[in-house]
Amino acid sequence: MRLGKILVPLAGTDSDQRALRAGFDIAANYGAHVACLFVNRNPTEALPVAGEALTGQIATELVAAVDEANKRQCAKARETFLHMLAQTGAEETGTPDSRDKVTAEFLETMGDPADRAAAAARLADLVIFSVPDIAYDIEPTLMESGRPCLLVPGEAANTIGQRVIVAWDGGPEAARALTGALPLLGEAESVTFITAQDREFDELATAALQSYIGSHGIKATIKQVALGNTPVGEVILNQVKENQADLLVMGAYGHSRIRELILGGATRYVIQNTDVAVLMVH
C-alpha cells in the first residue's frame, strides 16, 4: 500500500517545521504529494466574541489586527514551506501526476482553521499535526474526518515509524487505526501489538490478527499486558517507552455529548503526555 497525498495544516508558528519535516520524510518513501494548508481567520468573526457594544473605531481596529496577524502568520508558514522545498528538492505543483518523486503545494484559504482542516483531511491519506502547541484545534479533524492523523510532539525522534507499537483491543477504532497505518507498518523495522487487559489471552483473536497483518506482508509480535488499576493511556505509554518505540498507533476514542464529540480519557491522556509520534483514527 502507498500514501498518495499527505495534508499538513500550518499555523505560521515554529512548530510548522516539525510537522513539515515529518510530512516530507514520509512522502519520500512513497513519492507522495504534500499539501500544506494555511487558513486565514475571518477578521469579522472576531467581533461577536468581543461583544456587541463596540464603537466603530474599536471594531475597525479589531478587524485590522486580525488581518495583520493573518498576513504575518501566513508569510511565516509560506517561508517555512519554501525552506522545506529547498531542503528536500521537492517540486512545487498543484497537479501531481507522478509516483517517482515528492511534490508539494501551499494552499491558502479563509475560515475556521479547525473546520477547514477537517474538510481538507477527507481527501488526504494522512494528516500531520504538531502537538501540543499546534494553533489548530485538532479534534474536528481527528473525530470527524475519518482519516489517519499523525500527531508529532516536540520530543519526537527524527525518524518516525522504525519501531512501532500498535495499541490493540479488537474494536472498530483500533481496526481503523491499523488499516490507516498499514503503509507505515510495511516500512517498519519492528511492529509490536499491545493489548492492555486483565482477561484471559484470546488465542483465536490473536491468530486472526496475525493472519490479517501477515496478508499484508507485515511481521509482528503480539503481547498482552496487565491493566490492573493503571489507566489505559498510562499503560500504553509505558509500553512505548519500554519498547523504545518511535511511533504509537491507536484508535481515537470519543464520548458523545448532544451535538459534539469530545476525546475520551485514554486518547486525551496520550495526546497530552506522549513524547513519540502517535497515529490515531476515529
DSSP conformation letters of 163-219: EEEEE--SSHHHHHHHHHHHHHHTT-SEEEEEEE-SSPP-HHHHHHHHHHHHHTT--
Which listed CATH number (3.40.50.300, 3.40.309.10, 3.20.20.140, 3.40.50.620) goes with 163-281?
Answer: 3.40.50.620
Q: Which fold has domain 5-152?
A: Rossmann fold (3.40.50)
Identify the pLDDT of residue 184. Answer: 95
What would the pLDDT profile of 70-84 be if each residue is shown by its tens digit? Answer: 999 999 999 999 999
In this prediction, residue 246 carries a pLDDT of: 96
Torsion angle defined by CA atoms of residues 167, 220, 25 and 106, in that order, rounded to the nearest 10 degrees:
-50
| Burial bucket for residue 259 (CB in 10 Å: 0-12, 13-18, 19+) | exposed
| pLDDT tens digits along 81-109 | 999 999 999 999 998 877 778 999 999 99
> Residue 53 corresponds to which amino acid?
A
- Residue 58 banded pLDDT, cuts 50, 70, 90: confident
Residue 236, pLDDT above cutoff 80: yes
What is the CB neighbour count within 10 angstroms for residue 44? Answer: 12
> What is the per-residue pLDDT for 64?
84
Identify the residue with better confidence: 222 or 228: 222
Please state the separation of Cα 46 from the chain's center in Å.
27
Q: What is d(CA 69, CA 110) in angstroms, rounded to the nearest whole number? A: 13
Residue 66 pLDDT: 84
Q: Out of 73-82, 137-146, 211-220, which region has the weakest mean confidence (pLDDT)?
A: 137-146
- Read off the pLDDT band of 270 (50, 70, 90): confident
Q: What is the mean pLDDT of the chain?
A: 87
pLDDT at 127 over 90: yes
Strand partners, 254: 263
Same topology between domain 5-152 and domain 163-281: yes
- pLDDT of 210 above 90: yes
pLDDT of residue 49: 54
Task: Return the pLDDT at 258.
Answer: 35
Residue range 219-228: mean pLDDT, rounded: 88
Who has greater pLDDT, 235 or 56? 235
Q: Mind listing the pLDDT tens digit for each residue in 253-266?
A: 654 443 334 445 77
**What are the cell numbers at 234?**
498510562
Structural domain boundaries in the chain:
5-152, 163-281
| Cell numbers linked to 83 | 525552506
The pLDDT of residue 132: 66
pTM greater than the 0.75 cutoff: yes
The whole-number pLDDT of residue 55 equals: 66
Q: Are 127 and 149 in contact (CB under 8 A)?
A: yes
Segment 207-224 shows an average pLDDT of: 94
